[in-house]
Structure 1
Amino acid sequence: MSSFSIDDLKRILREGAGATAELDGDILDASFDDLGYDSLALLETGSRIGREYGLEFEDTAFADVETPRDLVGVVNAQLSAPAPRG
């Protein structure tokens, strides 16, 4: 099972939403607002994560995400969830 790290998130933020704020250092508990990322940037980030990791997120998956720590947790929960049976 693979996992999603803060370094993975930083890379995707830089590639997709652009480096609107300094992402070096400990940003796990900084709010996305403080980092310069709005809800549209987070939706784009979620879409990029989904494509790269083969995940599908519910429409509300990122509704309560306020910090990078929250987002990493949502992605890792999805990665560790059992695959749906078809």
Structure 2
Amino acid sequence: MVRTPLTPEERERGEQLGRLLREARGGRSMTDVAAAAGISAETLRKIETGRAPTPAFFTVAALARTLGLSMDDLVERCALLLA
């Protein structure tokens, strides 16, 4: 299956998500946050750096829960890029 290339807006939204998650992580280690969310540190690294701009919903939900973020807030803050 060939994946359709992402639009510049989708890439920017993924980078924004990564910045929000990195900011929320604060001083916690990437390894600790990833383990608490049930994902690998490499997956978290890819999301935070924008190399995985469209992570799975359940991955984002697990990270949001671990970091004490609201999914509504994440959606709103990432959707602002489309305005």
Q: Normalised by the shorter chain, which TM-score bucket?
A: 0.3 to 0.5
Q: TM-score, normalised by structure 2?
A: 0.38
Higher percent of residues as helix: 2
